[in-house]
Amino acid sequence: MIDCGEGAQLEMQRQRLKFSRLNHIFLTHLHGDHVFGLPGLVSTLGLNHLGGELTIHTFEDGKKILTQIFNYFSRELPFEIKFNVIKPEEAIIFETSAISVRTIPLSHRVQTVGFVFEEKEKLRHINREMVDYFKIPISQMNNIKRGADFITESGDIISNNRLTLPPTPSLSYAHISDTAYMPRIAPKIGAVDLLMHESTYLEEHASDAKDRGHSTAKQAAMIARDSGAKQLLLGHYSSRYKDDNLFLEEAKTIFPNTILNREGLTVSLD
């Protein structure tokens, strides 16, 4: 989960997302609309959860504030809450054998980071016919999936691209909220499959956006274009606008492959 605004747990129930599968929460910054859902969510998890642990990735202040709240309101949780203290800098903050998560510092009214979630390169697919033909032993299979060539008993080298097919593409997602327009983050984001970039304002209110540490739809689209992202997801709209489609129209003039965020939206990355 990235950020946890008020109503997050209700929305999880509405979407039938399993609480037991929630193990990590990544907080971009400590503004109420991004964290006020946490105390309620953690209490509910305490009622439903069977054990295990929940890691919250947040700044030192977040750890201090949330620890106090949880200690007071959720004294005897049946699972452990861990904190991974992060800093407003570029860093890899979480890594498994399958994915990594890195931070990009943003420009908002308080310390803020964006997150980039990247699947690691996957194993190559075995070309079954060729593997059978060259009688490659099972013990070699993992090396070959990782890209190794095969050397036969007579010393012939069978190159890997005859034995394997390319791996399933690795997917990536960048979450950039909240921030003023920062052209220099585009190359740091890179060519992700999906970029969520906040668009609180329209370009006609660009000076308000700048003053309050937010972006316009046009600016979000420029970041998408300059990063090489495949698709842009807009969100975090100011309530002063009555029609979300205005954001879509503005962004599409710069970056056509744009979609609007809304409650319950599911986007398939592949």
- Residues labelled catalytic: 33
The minimum distance between CB 91 and Zn ion, in angstroms, equals 21
Question: What whole-number distance in Å separates Cα of residue 74 and Cα of residue 269?
Answer: 36
Beta strands in 96-204 (DSSP E): 99-105, 113-119, 125-126, 150-151, 157-158, 164-165, 172-176, 194-198
Stretch of 23-31, 79-87, 125-133, 154-162 lying at the interface with Zn ion (CB under 5 A): 23-31
Angle between helices 217-227 and 245-252 (to 10 degrees): 40
Which region among 124-132, 151-159, 170-178, 257-265 touches Zn ion (by CB under 5 A)?
170-178
Helix/strand/coil for 229? coil
Q: Is 212 in the site for Zn ion (CB under 5 A)?
A: no
**Which tokens is 170 given?**
């690795």
Output 144 or 234, the one with its CB closest to Zn ion: 234
Rank residues 210 and 230 by Cβ distance to Zn ion and give the closer one. Answer: 210
CA–CA dist 267, 270 (Å, integer): 9
> Cβ–Cβ contacts within 10 Å for residue 16, how many?
6
Q: How many residues sit in the footprint of Zn ion (CB under 5 A)?
A: 2
Q: Which residues of 205-234 are buried (b: 16+ CB within 10 A; e: fewer)?
A: bbeebbeebbbbbbbbbbbbbbbebebbbb
Interface pick for Zn ion out of 24, 31, 188, 225 (rule CB under 5 A): 31
Name the residue with the smallest CB distance to Zn ion.
Answer: 31
User: What is the closest distance, in whole angstroms, from the C-beta atom of residue 231 to Zn ion in the complex?
Assistant: 24
- Nearer Cβ to Zn ion, position 178 or 250? 178
**Which one, 108 or 124, has the nearer CB to Zn ion?**
108
Q: Which of 178, 193, 198, 250 binds Zn ion (CB under 5 A)?
A: 178
Site for Zn ion in 120-159 (CB under 5 A): none
Which chain residues interact with Zn ion by CB under 5 A? 31, 178
